[in-house]
């Protein structure tokens, strides 16, 4: 379920296919080992993120991407100010995708679909086995709408010490 969320793409770079399941809050930082804390990740991002917190990893990823685009590191005071906006917007994107993944995993029809087909696969079975079984029916699943793209979560912009943050709006809150 987690691997095929976000249309089977890594939630961090939103480019490569998911190959692994990552804990957003690392286990080493007492992150929960349950689906509320799991996202699809590519191998490179999972290795790169390692035990880092979300913001630190997204900042590093955004910095690397930008350095690649520029062909040089965006150093200097102006570069750093400019990088902050770049990092903030990358962080907003990742947070929005993580919220969307949570919504997908909370979708009961979607989890029923997975459970009906893969109830016999265990949490401790290797990921390659999961992929080998789940991948072939992913097309069928998409045709039926599972995994389907969830409606975008309602987000609000707040300001903090780190700059702008996008926060999900609780569903019971009236606009």
- Which residues contribute to the site for Zn ion (CB under 5 A)? 10, 12-13, 16, 42, 45
With b for 16 or more beta-carbon neighbours within 10 A and e for fewer, the 97-106 pattern comes to: bbbbbbbbbe
For Zn ion, the closer CB: 16 or 167: 16
How far are the Cα atoms of 68, 69, 93, 162 from residue 39, in angstroms, in the given order? 25, 26, 14, 23
* Least gap, CB of 17 to Zn ion (angstroms): 9
For Zn ion, the closer CB: 57 or 113: 57
- Phi/psi region, residue 8 (left: phi>0; alpha: psi -120 to 50; beta: rest), is left
For Zn ion, the closer CB: 1 or 58: 58
Query: What tokens appear for 97 in the block?
Result: 């995708």
CA dist 14 and 97 (Å) reads 9
* Least gap, CB of 9 to Zn ion (angstroms): 8
For Zn ion, the closer CB: 1 or 42: 42
* Least gap, CB of 22 to Zn ion (angstroms): 9
* Least gap, CB of 38 to Zn ion (angstroms): 15
The answer to whether residues 99 and 155 touch, using CB atoms and an 8 Å cutoff, is yes
For Zn ion, the closer CB: 22 or 88: 22
Residues in CB range of 157: below 8 A, 6 or more apart: 164, 165, 166, 167
* Least gap, CB of 6 to Zn ion (angstroms): 10
How far are the Cα atoms of 8, 98, 139 from residue 12, in angstroms, in the given order? 12, 9, 23
């Amino acid at each position: 379920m987690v691997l095929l969320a976000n249309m089977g793409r890594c939630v961090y770079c939103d480019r490569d296919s998911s190959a692994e399941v990552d804990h957003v809050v690392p286990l080493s930082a007492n992150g929960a080992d349950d689906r509320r804390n799991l996202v699809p990740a590519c191998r490179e991002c999972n290795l790169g993120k390692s035990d880092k917190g979300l913001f630190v990893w997204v900042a590093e990823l955004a910095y690397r991407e930008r350095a690649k685009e520029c062909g040089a590191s965006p150093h200097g005071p102006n570069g750093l100010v400019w990088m902050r906006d770049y990092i903030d917007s990358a962080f907003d994107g990742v947070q929005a995708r993580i919220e969307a993944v949570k919504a997908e995993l909370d979708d009961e029809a979607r989890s029923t679909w997975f459970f009906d087909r893969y109830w016999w696969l265990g949490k401790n079975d290797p990921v390659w086995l999961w992929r080998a079984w789940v991948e072939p029916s992913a097309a069928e699943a998409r045709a039926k709408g599972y995994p389907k793209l969830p409606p975008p979560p309602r987000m609000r912009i707040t300001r903090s010490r780190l700059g702008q943050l996008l926060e999900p709006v609780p569903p019971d809150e009236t606009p």
